Amino acid sequence: MKTIYLLTLAFAAFAATSCEKTETAAVETTTPDPAFEAYFTDETIADAKPIHVARTTAAPGDEIVLSGRIMGREKVFVDGRASFLLGDPEKLTPCNERPGDKCETPWDACCDNEMKPVGLASIQILGEDGRVLSGTLKGTKGIRELSTVTVSGTVDQSSTEENLVINAAKIHVEKP
């Protein structure tokens, strides 16, 4: 009886520390806008910095090159907008890379909430009017949750120490 109690207690402790979600993630269907392909390149973009390093010196108007993975929240692509979250793999770990974690949305990196303030950047594509373009980037050139990407662009005027916002000029999606 004592063994069953200890096993139950150990399982409960493990379950409490896991990021696993019990609800089923909704299957999302998207149709990428072909106009966004002009912002993507098959060429590697050089001199990329991790997000946590770039944040220390990035100021609005600066040209910048970041590398990371699309992760950081359950919904990493902004509905109806050409925007996504880029996570720093040096600060955030997707749940599927944690042994025994079976989270259905591993890109949310839910076990690293304390590191998200230094490990995330918002990436957006602006139109000529200075507003974020309508549509979705998801699916363009294979970009999706957990894709490894490099982005070159400019730090947006709305960017702050707490919220790094990049206006993308070029996006390179690493092939799996």
DSSP assignment of the chain equals -HHHHHHHHHHHHHHHH----SSPPPP------GGGGGGB-SSPPPS-EEHHHHTTT--TT-EEEEEEES-SSS--BPTTBSEEEEE-TTT---GGGSTT---S-GGG-GGGGGGHHHHEEEEE-B-TTSSBPBS--TTGGG--TT-EEEEEEEE-TT--SS-EEEEEEEEEEPP-
| Domain residue extents for the chain | 31-173
- Compute the distance between CA of residue 9 and CA of residue 2 in angstroms, rounded to an integer: 10
- Per residue in 83-140, pLDDT tens? 999 999 999 999 899 888 888 999 999 888 889 999 999 999 999 999 999 999 999 9
Share of the chain above pLDDT 70, in %: 82
CATH number of 31-173: 2.40.50.200
Beta partners for residue 166, in sequence order: 123, 155
* CA-to-CA separations, 171 to 14, 43, 47, in angstroms, rounded: 39, 9, 14
| Residue pair 119/51 in contact by the 8 Å Cβ criterion | yes
Tell me, what's the pLDDT at 171? 98
Tell me which of 23-32, 38-47, 139-148, 167-176 is least confident: 23-32
**23-27, 80-84, 111-115, 156-160: which range is least confident on average?**
23-27
The mean pLDDT value for 158-169 works out to 95
What is the model's pLDDT at position 34?
Answer: 81
What band does 164 get if pLDDT is binned at 50, 70 and 90? very high
pTM of the model: 0.82
Residue 6 has pLDDT above 50, yes or no: no
Task: Tell me the pLDDT of the chain averaged across its residues.
Answer: 85
Q: What is the pLDDT of residues 33-44, one digit of tens each?
A: 788 999 999 999
The pLDDT score that the predictor gives to residue 30 is: 59
